[in-house]
């Protein structure tokens, strides 16, 4: 583990039921394949709570996407989160597993609250006028997941957390670039509306008849360029993660950013088709991450590592200092116990 990483929480008490954990794993295996693949090279003590977290986020997103449930989806999710933080989760496997994550990784309530707020923007049909508006959305639906993953991996180093939020936002921008046509056919537009005006397009007219257009392709390319900048910044944060966690996080970064390469191969046409990274390519990227991530260092990335968080993600780090000190002490105590057992062995 990197000796400059601030560690929190306890790593010995995450014990969801086998049934709950299995349900989460199956959900992620079929609903978030890129993460599922990357999680295979995370240490088990990290992969299990991370899977529970992603399962809850996946289900929350699916609930809001279901047209027949959107009017009450946000209030239902908020109630479920209330129960999770009260230590009385409902009957759903992902809720019970998420309660374990919250308890033993000291996840501040503000982080999953941010996720639900972002999803409420989807339910309300929110419009995004500027790139900063879009960053605010991405911070909530993806940046917050990066912040929570930092806590699951045992670090509250704000430099690492800022870069984890960068990675989450970059992934969300990639998703948006990939799904331009699919979203448009559902009446959703995430590309900044001011870009349409810059390119001489009326966003509402295009949305009423979303067809391939070289100007939309140019906006897609532009969005991916911003994503690439954030991926590059995020790379510096991987070097301050625990050594055993670096391959899995780097694999997720490589696989997601490669979606952009597939979009580029299609001349940035995301209206008529949806870019997919072939499984053989994903496995190749996984192996690249496995063998190269542990040796990545931060010497040449110090400026990026120390650069401030995006203004739009800064709020996610406000509650890190409030994580109970008892959690930090528990972690240190557990560490000494483990080291003592190893010495005796």
pLDDT reported for residue 299: 53
Please give the pLDDT value at position 156: 78
All CATH 1.10.600.10 domain ranges in the chain, comma separated? 127-316
At 139-197, the pLDDT tens digits run 999 999 999 999 999 987 888 999 999 999 999 999 999 999 999 999 999 999 999 99
**What is 127-316's CATH topology?**
Farnesyl Diphosphate Synthase (1.10.600)
Mean pLDDT, rounded, of the chain: 87
Where does the pLDDT of residue 298 fall: very low under 50, low under 70, confident under 90, or very high at 90 and above? low
pLDDT bracket for residue 13 (50, 70, 90) = low
246 has pLDDT over 60: yes
**For a pLDDT cut of 90, what percent of the chain falls above it?**
70
Q: Which residue has the higher pLDDT, 68 or 35?
A: 35
Task: pLDDT band for 268, please (50, 70, 90 cuts).
Answer: very high
Distance CA 237, CA 120 (A): 30
For residue 206, pLDDT beyond 90: yes
pTM: 0.88
């Amino acid at each position: 583990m990197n000796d400059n990483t601030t560690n929190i929480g306890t790593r010995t008490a995450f014990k969801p039921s086998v049934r709950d954990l299995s349900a989460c794993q199956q959900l992620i295996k079929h609903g978030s394949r890129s993460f599922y693949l990357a999680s295979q090279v995370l240490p088990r003590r990290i992969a299990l709570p991370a899977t529970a977290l992603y399962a809850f986020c996946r289900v929350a997103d699916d609930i809001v996407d279901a047209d027949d449930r959107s009017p009450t989806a946000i209030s239902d999710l908020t109630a479920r989160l209330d129960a999770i933080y009260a230590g009385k989760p409902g009957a759903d496997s992902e809720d019970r597993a998420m309660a374990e994550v919250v308890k033993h990784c000291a996840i501040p309530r503000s982080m999953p609250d941010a996720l639900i707020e972002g999803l409420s923007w989807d339910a309300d049909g929110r419009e995004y006028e500027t790139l900063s508006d879009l960053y605010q959305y991405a911070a909530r639906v993806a940046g917050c997941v990066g912040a929570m993953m930092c806590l699951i991996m045992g670090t509250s180093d704000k430099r690492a957390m800022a870069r984890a939020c960068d990675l989450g936002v970059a992934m969300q921008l990639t998703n948006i670039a990939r799904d331009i046509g699919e979203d448009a056919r559902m009446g959703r537009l995430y590309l900044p509306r001011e870009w349409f005006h810059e390119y001489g397009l009326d966003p509402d007219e295009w949305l009423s008849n979303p067809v391939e257009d070289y100007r939309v392709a140019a906006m897609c390319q532009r969005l991916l360029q911003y994503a690439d900048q954030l991926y590059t910044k995020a790379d510096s944060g991987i070097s301050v993660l625990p050594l055993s966690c670096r391959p899995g996080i780097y694999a997720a970064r490589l696989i997601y950013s490669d979606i952009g390469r597939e979009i580029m191969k299609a001349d940035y046409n995301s209206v008529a088709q949806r870019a997919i990274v072939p499984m053989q390519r994903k496995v190749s990227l996984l192996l690249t991450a496995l063998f190269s991530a542990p040796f990545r260092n931060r010497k040449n990335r110090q400026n990026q590592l120390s650069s401030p968080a995006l203004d739009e993600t800064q709020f996610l780090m406000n509650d890190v200092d409030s994580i109970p000190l008892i959690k930090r002490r528990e972690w240190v105590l557990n560490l000494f116990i483990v080291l003592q057992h190893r010495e005796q062995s």
